[in-house]
Amino acid sequence: MEQLLSLSTLDKLNPNIKGLAYDKNAGSVGIVHIGIGAFHRAHQAVFTNDLIALGDNQWKITAVSLRSANVRNLMQPQDSVYSVVERSDEQVNVSLVGAIQDVLVAPELPQQVVDVIASSQTKVVTLTVTEKGYCRDKSGLHLDLNNPDIQADLTSLTSAKASPKTMPGFIVAACQKRQSTGDKLTVVSCDNLPSNGSVTKTMVLEFAAALDGQLASWIENNVSFCNSMVDRIVPAVSEQDVCDVANVLGLTDKSVVITEPFKQWVIEDNFASDKPQWDKVGALFVKDVTVYEDMKLRLLNGAHSTLAYIGFLMGYEYIHQAVTDKTCLAFVKALHADVLKTVEDVPGIDLEEYASTIIARFSNSKVPYKTTQVATDGSQKLAQRLISPAEILSKQGIISRPIALVVASWCRFLESVDEQGNAYTVSDPLADELVGIAQHNKADEITQVKLILEESGICSDAMLQDSNFIDQVRVFLKSIHDKGIGNTVKQFLAQ
Ligand code: CS2
């Protein structure tokens, strides 16, 4: 067993590996990141690492885990140094990242988390808390004041020592303190939600308003919320990856992240105070992120969810396997053809080419992404990925048959037993309700579809009333029940 990667073992690192280009102990923390998972470590932390390597070392990151201690337990013994392995058929690139100063586990030290966000040194908070971490209500437009964690946080914030649990709770608790110093703050959302910064703003302001109107107006005037579009495929790391990487590094790295060479970050240029110059290391600052977000959420994430549900039901464990199946591939292309009609021109990007690059990226077998991983949290993902383009097309008089088929596959997936009769677990905050509906209404497709769409909250009122679209979903679901997923997709392609 090799020694563990850490600051004290760096001299044992394989000399061919790109080490840290700076003194990890120098500089200061300027960013707090909430939601440390593999994605953050392979995306925002890499941009920041590259910026620090240019000599701008005021932007080190204190990362926060809102739930488990796992990442902290892996990173702490390594002095928070880890490796990022970029893999494709053509290349493997390994480099070390030292941008993360330390990792705090929020349930253990909630007040310390509030204090670090409140610190004058902190200029920027970045977020990857996943879609459900925004604590939206079913409409997606407002804070869910019935969420027990939000209720507990509201109570906690009235006490002298606030111990929040949720993202809005932490930001508001820190702003209570920042109010006294008057320090401005910028929050950059990096989750796959449309207008993710504006959504963050709404949730934070509604939370603050429920506590204290004056605090809400302070936040409105002193905190800016940037929308951002993030893109990089970062699957969960396996034991095998850790062993393989140890052989390359000459040291064991238990918090390694595996990713593809591609990465993209487009950020709304709306900072309240100092701004990390991420544009020097490949990010793009723009006035309006909307077109980039729509493009990415619909063409990339929409196709990802498609391959997750259809691919899983066809028996594929990984996205790269599903996308190399001829039927699935032809289906994704049909989906792209429809969705492309809903995406506006994006400066500097050829959308057709963008769509084919996505297929090439999904085919990267060196970055194996489980269909079940993408299939999680459908109730939080499908509105922006599939329903919103379907709604735009409906308004143009087009019923998107490919999107209807994916929605039908999701309804079938929620039955939680595959076509061979094997049971599996659906992971979704609404799993109990949705799996119950799917299982009890298998014999009555229209009821199954309507109840799932209503209960999940993925449709606007207009889409719930769109009987043409809903009936198309029903027809495909019935076909999946009668003939199976493979035949249904093949028949669709034949028409
Ligand atoms: C994926 C995304 O798991 C999922 O829902 O669709 O995490 C996807 O890999 C990233 O958005 C790519 O940028």
Among 40, 232, 233, residue to substitute to test ligand 1 (most atoms within 8 Å of Cβ): 233
Residue 1 in domain: no
User: Ligand 1 centroid to 192 CA: how many Å?
Assistant: 8
Distance 401 CA to ligand 1 centre (A): 23
**Which of 288, 322, 351 corresponds to the end of one domain?**
288
- Token representation of residue 227: 């929308």
Q: Are residues 316 and 237 in the same domain?
A: no
Residue 305 lies in a domain: yes
Q: How far is the CA of 162 from the centre of ligand 1 (A)?
A: 33
Per the CB < 8 A criterion, the answer to whether 364 and 86 are in contact is no
pLDDT at 121 exceeding the cut of 70: yes
CA-to-CA distance for 50 and 47, rounded, in angstroms?
Answer: 5
User: How far are the Cα atoms of 52, 126, 284 from residue 281, in angstroms, in the given order?
Assistant: 10, 17, 9
Q: Summarize pLDDT for 144-178 with one digit per residue, the tens.
A: 999 999 999 999 999 988 999 999 999 999 999 99
Q: In this structure, are residues 393 and 400 in contact, taking their beta carbons and an 8 Å threshold?
A: yes
Q: How high is the mean pLDDT of the chain?
A: 97
Summarize pLDDT for 344-362 with one digit per residue, the tens. 999 999 999 999 999 999 9
Alpha helices (runs of H) in 11-95, residue ranges in sequence order: 38-42, 44-53, 70-75
**Is residue 289 predicted with pLDDT exceeding 70?**
yes
Please give the pLDDT value at position 1: 60
Q: Is residue 434 part of a domain?
A: yes
254 lies in the same domain as 362: no
Euclidean distance between CA atoms 382 and 434, whole angstroms: 14
The predicted-structure confidence for 302-356, as pLDDT tens digits, reads as follows 999 999 999 999 999 999 999 999 999 999 999 999 999 999 999 999 999 999 9
Give the pLDDT score at 18: 87
Give the containing element (helix H, strand E) for 264.
strand 264-268
pLDDT at 386 over 80: yes
Nearest atom of ligand 1 to the alpha carbon of 385: 6
Distance 115 CA to ligand 1 centre (A): 31
Pocket of ligand 1 from Cβ distances under 6 Å: 192, 231-233, 301, 304, 373-374, 381
Atom 9, ligand 1: residue with shortest CA distance? 233
Q: 186 and 164 in one domain?
A: yes
In this prediction, the answer to ipTM > 0.90 reads yes
Q: What is the mean pLDDT of residues 71-86?
A: 98
Distance (angstroms) between ligand 1 centre and the Cα of 357 equals 15
**Based on the structure, what is the number of domains in the chain?**
2
Distance 3 CA to ligand 1 centre (A): 33
Nearest CA to ligand 1 atom 6: 301
| Residue with CA nearest ligand 1 atom 13 | 231
CATH number at residue 199: 3.40.50.720
* 132 C-alpha to ligand 1 centroid (Å): 14
Residues 137, 216: one domain? Answer: yes
**401: amino acid identity, one letter:** R
Q: Which helix (DSSP H) or strand (DSSP E) does residue 87 occupy?
A: strand 82-87
357: containing domain: 291-494
304 and 276 assigned to the same domain:
no
Counting ligand 1 atoms within 8 A of each CB, the residue from 234, 304, 363 with the most, and so the one to mutate, is 304
